[in-house]
Structure 1
Amino acid sequence: MTNIVEYLKRKLVSLQCFIGVEMTDEYIKLVEIKMDKNNSFIIHQYKMEPIQTNLIKDGFILNTNEVINKLNDMLKQLTLYTNQVHFMLPSHLVHLHFLTVPHHEKEKILKWIQTELENERIELPFKNPHFDMIKLSTDTTGKTNIMLLTAPQDEIETYVNVFNAVNLKPISLEIKAFSLFRLIHALELIDIMCSFIVIEINKFSAEISVFQSGILQTIRSIPVMRSPEKYRSVKTAAQKAVSFKIVKKNEGDLSSYLTLEVKKFINYYHYYDNNKNKEDFQCLILLGDISELHQIGYEFNRAFPFEVRILNADERISNDKNNNLLPFFAVPLGLALRGRH
């Protein structure tokens, strides 16, 4: 009788628990949350495990069996209340296209996209794409603006096979930018309709995502260089026109390097990218799993004319008082927040 009661309790709890998993070149990260009917949530448990070099490289799983073993060992240390998982596909494996199409129901647009992809009229660097789309707006001519996302089906299946092998059921996948946007919205950190930047930094790269009016505008990845020889800049007319200047750096530290690279990116975005309705940035949100995060935040605050914030949490979302962990677990937490969707 006791076993039946415990089983029913677990089934009841599982209706309110959701898992997000992020696998990177360095770590496997997992967050399980409890969410009520009002979408209020609390972190139930979390785990981050380092993985050996070259098990995953640039988002590609190179050694499936070893990744399965590592994930399985990690799960043995946890008592999960659900097996349904939202997982992340590395952004550089996903291609974003902004298209304008005749206004139709979503099903008809998806059929049109399928035809275009099958006839290779949408250029992609891989075959056999998996795709999805997001309707953005309808203009005055009756055309619909959409965001098309494509990714190699083979790589998706590799991730799915890893989860299936450890009895986890993947129910959705997405890129990092969407997960972080969902988390920022849930925490009510800023007005998500403003123009803002999110930068997630790990040992090997920094991923920059730009949002305007609640819509992802662009994603860029820059390599993390910890010992650049020298920081040089050639000021273009566009660079001279912005409200801050790119200055020469003689110090070879990570924060100075990233400050320069982000300035260059912002210059490009405002003056060269296809950004017809550009707005001044109001905020930059910084997160990541590197020890230099606060030093980088300090340098960014000195360098940029808008607010710079390091993603932090409070007791609303965690039953663990060490809320400084949030910048490390932001992506899987944002994934878990997808809930039943």
Structure 2
Amino acid sequence: MAQVKNKQIVLKNYVNGFPKESDMLIVTSDTINLNLPEGSNAVLVKNLYLSCDPYIRGRMSKTKGSYIDSFTPGSPIEGLGVAKVLESGHSNFKKGDLVWGGTRWEEYSVLNAPETLFKIEQTDVPLSYYTGILGMPGMTAYAGFYEVCSPKKGEYVFVSAASGAVGQLVGQFAKLLGCYVVGSAGTKEKVDLLKNKFGYDEAFNYKEEQDLDAALKRYFPDGIDIYFENVGGKMLDAVLPNMRLNSRISVCGMISQYNQEQGDGVRNLFHIITKSVLMKGFIVTHFYHMYPKYMEMVMPLIKQGKICYIEDIAEGLESAPTALVGLFSGRNVGKQVVVVARE
């Protein structure tokens, strides 16, 4: 029975405040068998790409800070990734299949819930795309924009954290539909990306704005029809007075709040009443049944060059802690991906 050492990234202990690289340890486990036991229903995979996503922060806290259970200190961090099947006891997968879905931050994983995996059928695009535009972030942008917001041509759309894994897609979807789109980001480089690469009509650096309400009035003198919420806190408070009658807010995430013990208060909620605003949060897994429909839409757009996707690639499993921590200071430009191994 073949055995190998298995490098892993484990959570050292529960985290308070901003995560640090030292909250995670790079360890080499004793050994992992590269054969499954007789009768196993599991899937043994070699991890190729790992996805760094903000929701992971919630799972690093002892109290339930996410819609998924907290991690166990001393155990490998869990997340989404792309992997190659080395051996399968499950009828849906066979040796050599490429898959994306739930895995762990390690070189090899035995996955006992293979129903969380999607088989990769189309390989004429970068495999890393299945951590982003063809994976969970892509589905998040699709569901949050089209299903939650019910957009119409000509509407005014605002996207916060607009250059991130989800935001860059929302803006492009909105432009393809014929909307007026403005995004916010945290650096000049990201603002330039939004306007010159992703086709946003306008973009601004929120860190340079003394008054977010005034900034939004500058770009949306007639108000906002759709706000795709990725930030929360002060940004949400500034957006609410600028929403139009019968507008919609899709609440995808609130990254400004993830590392706070006490979240920011939002004072302008009364505008939800006076402007008949529909504000709805959503969990992307509730829309995974729509994945085939999404793929039918997005793959031709990628191949025809009508949509682009920017990735921030970190090489090597050992780079994962730095990559994850960087999400919360805006260090990444585009979707943060960690390369564990190239097929």
* Fold shared, TM-score > 0.5 on shorter chain: no
TM-score normalised to structure 2 length? 0.31
TM-score normalised to structure 1 length? 0.31
